[in-house]
Amino acid sequence: MGELIDGDDGLPAEEVGEWAKEKHAYLCRYIDISKAARAKYLGPGKGGAAFIDLFCGPGRCRVKSTGEWIDGGAVAAWNKSVQGGQPFSRVIVADADQERLDATIKRLQNAGAPVVSACGPASLTAFFALQRTPPHGLNFAFLDPYNLEALDFKIFETLARVKRLDVLVHLSKMDLQRNLDINIGATVSAFDAFAPGWRDVINVGQAQGGIRTEVIEHWRDIVGKVGMNASRDVRLLKGSRGQHLYWLLLLASHDLALKFWKVASNPEKQGSLF
């Protein structure tokens, strides 16, 4: 989590790499592609449609290399749903940092979003989101943490209790690679939060590529056991020097959502994790 800067609208913001634009483009593509399905749940007497972001940040970013200002994930998602004519009926945001959360709340309110919020780690605010998500609606969550450890599996256990929920997840490949030796050797590891039970199923004596693959496959398995199917259509985002940064993939309980993500994520037919 970097230092905050002054935003172009007078509120706190943060600096990001150019890849953030690409990440938000895929987020918005999915929101636009799924708008017809969402429309069936909007309007008087219908179930509703919530957008959930438990790592919302300040809601506004400046691209380091160009100076361009862009919306953060929650603000971009709300604006895209409005532009598509099927705005979310509720926007649920949370962050562990109060100043960042307050900035996103203000930006969403300025944009006319029906926002509710909570401050705290996502492993706890997930329950807040569960309580405020329309139980008979069609809902969508965006989980965009700074590292793997923040993506505590408790988040998925909680959100899986929502009847209709699709989840777009950012998995940090760079964190997985850079800190692999530390996580394998530590008594308490980031993997313990991200993929509990990994020690019982992963052969740590093999090459690093095999370990990384098995960690992710184990995570897929346990996510599936709580009722969320992880897409095989995965988008790999890279840095300015071609370095592998993170994957975007969808968790869903319905095949239609996975088909939407296949279209949204694969303009170049990309899909391999490694």
Q: Give residue-wise pLDDT tens across range 222-259.
A: 999 999 999 989 999 988 888 889 899 999 988 999 99
pLDDT of residue 105: 98
Given a cut of 90, is residue 89 above it in pLDDT?
yes
**The domain 5-265: what is its CATH number?**
3.40.50.150
- Better pLDDT: 181 or 158: 158
Lowest-confidence pick of 29-33, 128-132, 266-270: 266-270
Closest CA to 1 of 10, 11, 12: 12
Length of the chain: 274
Return d(Cα 66, Cα 12) in angstroms, integer.
19
Return d(Cα 224, Cα 252) in angstroms, integer.
9
H/E/C letters for each residue in 102-154?
HHHHHHHHHCCCCEEEEECCHHHHHHHHHHHCCCCCCEEEEECCCCCCCCCHH
pLDDT of residue 268: 62
What band does 137 get if pLDDT is binned at 50, 70 and 90? very high
- Give the distance, in angstroms, between the CA of residue 50 and the centroid of all CA atoms in the same chain: 14
What band does 194 get if pLDDT is binned at 50, 70 and 90? very high
Q: Which pTM value belongs to this model?
A: 0.94
CB 81 within 8 A of CB 31: yes
Q: What is the mean pLDDT of the chain?
A: 93
What band does 2 get if pLDDT is binned at 50, 70 and 90? confident
CB 103 within 8 A of CB 74: no
% of the chain residues with pLDDT over 90: 76
Closest CA to 79 of 104, 43, 48: 104
CB 213 within 8 A of CB 238: no
Given a cut of 50, is residue 87 above it in pLDDT?
yes
Given a cut of 50, is residue 271 above it in pLDDT?
no
Closest CA to 117 of 109, 128, 131, 107: 128
CA distances from 58 to 74, 213, 228 (A): 9, 33, 28
What band does 150 get if pLDDT is binned at 50, 70 and 90? very high
Tens of pLDDT, residue by residue over 4-57, are: 999 999 999 999 999 999 999 999 999 999 999 999 999 998 999 999 999 999
DSSP per residue, 205-257? TS-HHHHHHHHHHHHHHHHHHTT-EEPS--EEEE-TTS-EEEEEEEEESSHHH
What band does 189 get if pLDDT is binned at 50, 70 and 90? confident
Lowest-confidence pick of 99-113, 171-185, 207-221: 171-185
Given a cut of 90, is residue 68 above it in pLDDT?
yes
pLDDT of residue 272: 42
pLDDT of residue 182: 87
The type of residue at 213 is T
Query: Domain spans of the chain?
Result: 5-265
pLDDT of residue 267: 64
